[in-house]
Amino acid sequence: MSIMNETKSASFAVHDKQASLPRHHAVIFIGLLAAGLIAPFLLAPIFVMKVLCFALFACAFNLLLGFGGLLSFGHAAFFGSASYVSAHAAKVWGLTPELAILCGTLSALVLGVVIGALAIRRQGIYFAMVTLAFAQMVYFFSLQAGFTGGEDGIQAVPRGDLFGLLSLNSDLVLYFVVFAITAAGMLLIYRIIYSPFGQVLKAISMNEQRAVSLGYRVNRYKLTVFVLSATLAGLAGATKAIVFQLASLTDVHWSMSGEVVLMTLIGGVGTVFGPIVGAAVIVTMQNYLATFGAWVTIIQGVIFVFTVMLFREGIVGVISKALKKPF
Amino acid sequence: MKKTGFLLTSFAALLTAASASAQDIPVKIGVLTDLSGVYADASGPGSVFAAELAVEDFTRQSPGLNVEVISADHQNKGDVASSIARRWLDDDVNAIVDIAASSTAFAVHELLRDSNALALFSSAASSGLTGEDCSPHSVHWTYDTWMLAHGTGRAVLEAGGDSWFFIAPDYTFGHTLVEQTSAVVQENGGEVLGSVSHPFPGQDFSSFILQAQASGAKVIGLANSGQDMINAVRQAREFGVTQGGQSIAAIMLNIHDVHSLGLEASQGLLFASVFDWNLNEGTREWSARFEEKMGTKPSMMQAGVYSAVLHYLKSVEATGTTDADTVVTNMKDTPTDDPLFGKGRIRADGRKIHDAYLFKVKEPSASEGPWDYFEVVSTIPADLAFRPIEDGGCPLAQ
């Protein structure tokens, strides 16, 4: 509860006054686009793709927490189940990658409707616990169901040919496909945030009772944003399965739900670009600190503690406050 | 005179060329393992050190190669393992060793299939690595589920344990072990009275142990590992399983498990393994070096890393290249011989075979001190210890 109150006061202090699209966002988007186009030539494409997948996942999560005011502790369920479905579709049904990703995303949508419809009936910590409980069910399903391969996961998923034409076996070609998917997902999230729907969401998360008294059907809005967030998290998971050619229990485990919270908090809850920064920070740590062994988790923990103690608005939140502009 | 001079110069030229080519070969070995999670004791930092020991021993004898050992923590996540391995491939890593946990092992297995690097699995258990999905670039070193199931199953049967009840964790590793061990028991005239799956990880085994006791089976087979198995053994003791005339067979037992259980609780356990530090002079000497740095005796996985790296380096030196296909062919053609696993060989399907042993955990009074836990009951010859090559269905074997 306290986290959510913090985030509200942190993010909306910035966002309140500006309902229209801030102009400097266009500049940032162009900057990100340029960075995304150059990145695979400077860094390992596979690494950048991983950052992109997690950035989209964190942005989807941020849509729910930062703008809908709903803290889900079970987002791994959507991310992971979509990655399983996508991997299965590509490997066993032999679908082309775009159809496999679509299948995965749709499965997350369906799961989002089911879990969301039940979870939004509760607020605060209870909401978080209900989502966690459902995510655990999805985890046990994944552990037991035959097609997921248990702890071996689904391995050797073919990357296939995009639209049956373009082979994705080259990391660079795949990179631009993943980049396009992520960019589309993020633009969609951005559009949602600054739509009238997004404004109503903001109103609901700030004062639900008042929104009800103004005549809004609050639950519909909550369910819609939940499903949107779940679907986009699914899109990220489904894409990741194609990138790494595997789907495993890691993606449905509760610690993945925790990781996405961490990414969003470090980057800045309720900021548009924060989750991208947060995802980049965490994924970079996991990759480049891997040689330090046990220190990865300890360093992650220390960074998390520092973030919570010193700058609760997250990296981007702090910059945003200093420049007095919403990012 | 002229002729001798010519011969001498050409000989000298040849010599410098040979040593130059060996000097020029940089060999990079990546130890990809669990440095922080559940497998960190049995593999982890000990595996990294075992690889360093192998390099040290190899370069002492033949200083030709320029070997570098790097390591990373795959955090038991398939995608982390996959991205580290990809980065290593870009950095010209020639062999990736260890790889605990099966999802990470399979990820590396598939990734290296089409690359110019070899995977030397010494910690992963799944016999699927040398089954239908076998890869020309994978060598499965220490042990596998088939070996554990058959080694323990057959040996316990021979000792008169002809009726079994299994307690297994509810995931693939456990199901596979139960399936494979049941097959052995039934093939050899024993019977399986039942099995029960427990949630993973498990703390309370009381109801499962009561079921096992009620079944009247002579042997209770524990198909779990690590902390689960420690909990199960401890509670079985509290329920007086062994006093009731039943014996416990642990299908996957590690020396570190016994170390934390204590001999009082684990005495009499039967299990199959391929290594113990106290087997012979060679293993004792090596293990002493290991213990000096790491503070514990090595596990079979860590011993496997040493043996695998040593054999790999020998083949690199013999072929004068790090080209994956050339080296792996040489590795399979050359019999293996090292102080830890004795003589053995690598089959066409990538399975490394060597003798296995049936061990029994000593009684506290028979133990001479810390780490003196096991006595050899019988030796399982290499050819019988592992799955026959034709049963695996590996396309490389045909």
Distance from CA of B17 to the nearest CA of A (A): 36
**pLDDT band of A319, cuts 50, 70, 90:** confident
Check residue A18 and give its pLDDT. 47
Say whether pLDDT at A222 is over 80. yes
**pLDDT band of A294, cuts 50, 70, 90:** low
H helix or E strand, kind and range, residue B238: helix B226-238
HSE, CB side, 13 Å, CA atoms: give it for residue B322.
23
Check residue A153 and give its pLDDT. 85
In a domain, A327, yes or no: no
Check residue A318 and give its pLDDT. 86
Tokens 């369920």 found at: A77
B146-273+356-385 matches B19-143+279-354 in CATH topology: yes
- CB-based contact B73 A296, cutoff 8 Å: yes
Q: Determine phi and psi for B313, rounding to 5 degrees.
A: -65, -35
The CA angle A167-A173-A177, to the nearest 5 degrees, is 100
**pLDDT tens track for A97-141:** 999 999 999 999 999 999 999 999 988 899 999 999 999 999 989
- CB-based contact A152 B103, cutoff 8 Å: yes
Cβ-based contacts of A294 with chain B (< 8 Å): 35-36, 40, 73
In a domain, A173, yes or no: yes
**pLDDT band of B228, cuts 50, 70, 90:** confident
**pLDDT band of B3, cuts 50, 70, 90:** low
- CB-based contact A249 B103, cutoff 8 Å: yes
In a domain, A297, yes or no: no
- Between B125 and B13, residue with greater pLDDT: B125
* CATH architecture under which domain B146-273+356-385 falls: 3-Layer(aba) Sandwich (3.40)
B373 near A CB under 8 A: no
Question: To the nearest whole percent, how much of chain A has pLDDT over 70?
Answer: 93
Q: What is d(CA B74, CA B37) in angstroms, rounded to the nearest whole number?
A: 10
Q: Which residues of A touch B (CB under 8 A)?
A: 44, 46-47, 50, 143-144, 149-153, 155-156, 240, 244-246, 248-251, 286-287, 290-294, 296-297
Q: Name the residue among B72, B75, B107 with its Cβ closest to that of A246.
A: B107
Check residue B4 and give its pLDDT. 52
HSE, CB side, 13 Å, CA atoms: give it for residue B320.
6
**pLDDT tens track for B85-139:** 988 998 899 999 999 888 889 999 999 998 999 999 999 888 889 998 899 999 9
B179 near A CB under 8 A: no
Interface of B with A in 109-148 (CB under 8 A): 109-111, 126, 128, 133
B224 near A CB under 8 A: no
User: Looking at the whole model, is its pTM more than 0.90?
Assistant: no
Residue A263 CB neighbours (<10 A): 27
Say whether pLDDT at B163 is over 50. yes
B158 near A CB under 8 A: no
DSSP conformational letter for B197? E
> How much is the mean pLDDT over chain B?
88
Cβ-based contacts of A286 with chain B (< 8 Å): 75, 80
Q: What is the mean pLDDT of residues A153-173?
A: 85
CATH topology of domain B19-143+279-354: Rossmann fold (3.40.50)
Q: Where are the alpha helices (DSSP H) in A44-123?
A: 45-62, 76-91, 97-119
Say whether pLDDT at A13 is over 80. no
Say whether pLDDT at B18 is over 60. no
Domain containing A145: what range?
23-253
Specify the number of domains making up chain A.
1
Inter-chain CB pairs, A–B, below 8 Å: 106
B92 near A CB under 8 A: no
The CA angle B153-B119-B311, to the nearest 5 degrees, is 80
**pLDDT tens track for A17-61:** 445 677 888 888 999 999 999 988 988 888 899 999 999 999 999
**pLDDT band of A8, cuts 50, 70, 90:** very low
**DSSP class per residue in A156-218:** -----EETTTEE--SHHHHHHHHHHHHHHHHHHHHHHHTSHHHHHHHHHHH-HHHHHHTT--H
Say whether pLDDT at B19 is over 60. no
B71 near A CB under 8 A: yes
- CB-based contact A151 B173, cutoff 8 Å: yes
**pLDDT band of A4, cuts 50, 70, 90:** very low
Interface test with B, best of A54, A57, A147, A151 (most B CBs within 10 A): A151
Q: Which of A260, A259, A270, A280 is nearest to A312 (CA)?
A: A270
Q: What is the mean pLDDT of residues B274-289?
A: 93
Cβ-based contacts of B44 with chain A (< 8 Å): 293
Distance from CA of A306 to the nearest CA of B (A): 22
Say whether pLDDT at A296 is over 50. yes
Q: Which of B373, B155, B386 is nearest to B276 (CA)?
A: B373
**pLDDT band of A295, cuts 50, 70, 90:** confident
Range from A83-92, A276-285, B195-204, B367-376 carrying the lowest mean pLDDT: B195-204
Would you kindly state where each structural domain of chain B is located, as residue ranges? Answer: 19-143+279-354, 146-273+356-385
Burial class of residue A224, CB neighbours in 10 A (0-12, 13-18, 19+): middle
Check residue B161 and give its pLDDT. 87
Task: Report the complex ipTM.
Answer: 0.72
